[in-house]
């Protein structure tokens, strides 16, 4: 299973003055451990010290312990009790089981006492610990502070996003596979007659194409497919299952799938028959902005520079009023297809090898249609690798 680069994480923690780090939201727990609990809603924690001689420690429900030990490369797993009864077969045979009282669901005080014990054992109590501060419920944060009164807890949200922005080769391969399956769904969506069918039919074709892209090697890692599909007036058709598609309408697609916890994202514009002059003008300008940005994209280039190039090229190509908040974003561990950093006018960060970003150039024209060009792109040491294979031009369908 994918897992973060622990050495890089420790270096980044030291830069920020952290002595330790606690991951507790589902995406970051999965990112740090490589283990996603089979059922949501059960608190899980991963404690990491900057000291490389101190093993990271998972704290999770007893029900998840054995599976986590099989899946994660982390060696130390501690547990807290929940309401589920779990016993050993041999203990039943030998009649060695004693009754143990269990909480009705979660005992937060007990959970945070056990987390405090981990911090103490790892030499982290009284130190500076990074946590996902905005994600803590007030009640849970109160337990955390009370059980660790001398420990300084600081927000580590930005650190997690920075760590997740640089992908390992294994993460990149998962995103590649997810995108390939997404494109199989898109291809299936437009095969056969499109004119006269409903939006609901396109969703069905897309999802069936995705399902046909699965096999025995990747089916277990598949969690969901998502798509935003519209025809003609985007706002009138995007959620209307029985909306019938007419000749001359543009079709907007923006979607992806979740595979092994990673979410792909791409977008395309199609047209039923031949595009009219206004559709041509809009798409030509959007693609000009996209192409100009793609030509300059690479390692060491500032994100705000790519934003400026894309917007200016779009304006010069016929849409002088065109304005966007961002022209792309990172992609990775779900949920959320749009993740920091964003290709925006104020983003000073440069593109680095290992980043997987979505470069996009969208526009929504009321009463005409939605338009989108969006690819997933890997930043390499010497340039870029575009992962998409589906044509980027406005594809004409019948």
Give 51-89 pLDDT, tens digit per residue. 999 999 999 999 999 999 999 989 999 999 999 999 999
| Residue-wise pLDDT tens digits, 191-229 | 989 999 999 999 999 999 999 999 999 999 999 999 999
Measured between alpha carbons, how far is 367 from 348 in angstroms, rounded to an integer? Answer: 37
Mean pLDDT over the full length of the chain: 95
| Residue-wise pLDDT tens digits, 237-294 | 998 999 999 999 999 999 999 999 999 999 999 999 999 999 999 999 999 999 999 9
Pair of tokens at residue 260: 């092994």
Residue where the block lists tokens 């973060």: 4
Residue 23 has pLDDT above 90, yes or no: yes
Q: Can you give the pLDDT at residue 1? A: 58
Domains and CATH numbers, the chain: 6-165 (3.40.350.10), 169-397 (3.90.230.10)
Cα–Cα nearest to 306, from 316, 294, 317: 294
Q: Can you give the pLDDT at residue 134? A: 87
Count Cα neighbours of 143 within 13 Å in the Cβ-side half-sphere: 14
pTM exceeding the 0.85 threshold for the entire prediction: yes
- Percentage with pLDDT > 90 across the chain: 89
Q: Can you give the pLDDT at residue 2? A: 66
Helices (H) and strands (E) in the chain, counts: 12, 18
Q: Can you give the pLDDT at residue 39? A: 61
Q: Which residue has the higher pLDDT, 50 or 39?
A: 50
- Span 131-136, mean pLDDT? 89
Measured between alpha carbons, how far is 340 from 331 in angstroms, rounded to an integer? Answer: 8
Q: Can you give the pLDDT at residue 165? A: 96
- Span 285-308, mean pLDDT? 98
Phi, psi of 127 (to 5 degrees): -105, -175
Phi, psi of 167 (to 5 degrees): -95, 150
Other CB atoms within 10 A of residue 24 CB: 20
Measured between alpha carbons, how far is 183 from 253 in angstroms, rounded to an integer? Answer: 11
The set of residues, in sequence order, having a beta carbon less than 8 Å from that of 193 and lying 6+ positions away, is 398
Cis geometry, peptide bond prior to residue 341 (ω within 30 degrees of 0):
yes
| Residue-wise pLDDT tens digits, 353-388 | 999 999 999 999 999 999 999 999 999 999 999 999
- Span 290-312, mean pLDDT? 98
Least confident of 133-142, 198-207, 295-304: 133-142
Pair of tokens at residue 211: 């399902």
Q: Can you give the pLDDT at residue 395? A: 96
How much is the CA Rg of the chain, to the nearest whole Å? Answer: 24
Least confident of 66-75, 308-317, 324-333: 66-75
Q: Can you give the pLDDT at residue 40? A: 61
């Amino acid at each position: 299973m994918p897992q973060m680069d622990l050495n890089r994480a420790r270096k980044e923690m030291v830069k920020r003055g952290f002595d330790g780090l606690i991951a507790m939201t589902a995406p970051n727990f999965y990112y740090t451990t490589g283990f996603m609990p089979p059922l949501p809603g059960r608190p899980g924690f991963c404690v990491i010290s900057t000291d490389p001689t101190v093993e990271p420690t998972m704290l999770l429900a007893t029900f998840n312990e054995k599976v986590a030990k099989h899946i994660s490369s982390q060696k130390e797993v501690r547990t807290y009790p929940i309401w589920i009864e779990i016993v050993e077969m041999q203990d039943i045979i030998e009649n060695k089981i004693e009754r143990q009282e269990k909480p009705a669901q979660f005992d937060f005080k007990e959970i945070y006492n056990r987390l405090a014990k981990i911090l103490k054992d790892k030499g982290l109590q009284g130190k500076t610990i990074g946590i996902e501060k905005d994600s803590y419920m007030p009640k849970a944060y109160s337990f955390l502070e009370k059980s660790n009164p001398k420990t300084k807890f600081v927000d580590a949200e930005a650190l997690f996003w920075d760590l997740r922005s640089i992908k390992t080769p294994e993460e990149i391969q998962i995103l590649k596979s997810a995108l390939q399956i997404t494109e199989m769904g898109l291809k299936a969506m437009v095969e056969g007659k499109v004119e006269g069918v409903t939006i609901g039919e396109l969703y069905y074709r897309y999802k069936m194409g995705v399902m046909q892209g699965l096999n025995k090697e990747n089916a277990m890692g598949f969690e969901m497919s998502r798509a935003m599909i519209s025809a003609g007036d985007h706002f009138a058709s995007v959620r209307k299952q029985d909306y019938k598609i007419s000749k001359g309408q543009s079709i907007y697609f923006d979607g992806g799938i979740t595979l092994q916890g990673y979410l792909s994202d791409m977008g395309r514009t199609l047209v039923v028959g031949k595009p009219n002059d206004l559709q041509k003008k809009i798409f030509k300008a959007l693609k000009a902005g996209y192409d100009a940005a793609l030509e300059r994209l690479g390692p060491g280039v500032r994100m705000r520079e790519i934003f400026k190039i894309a917007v200016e090229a779009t304006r010069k190509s016929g849409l002088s009023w065109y304005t966007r908040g961002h022209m792309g974003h990172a992609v990775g561990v779900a949920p959320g297809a749009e993740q920091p950093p964003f290709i925006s006018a104020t983003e000073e960060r440069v593109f680095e090898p290992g980043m997987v970003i979505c470069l996009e150039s969208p526009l929504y024209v009321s009463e005409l249609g939605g338009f989108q060009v969006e690819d997933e792109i890997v930043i390499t040491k010497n340039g870029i690798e575009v992962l998409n294979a589906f044509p980027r031009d406005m594809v004409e369908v019948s």
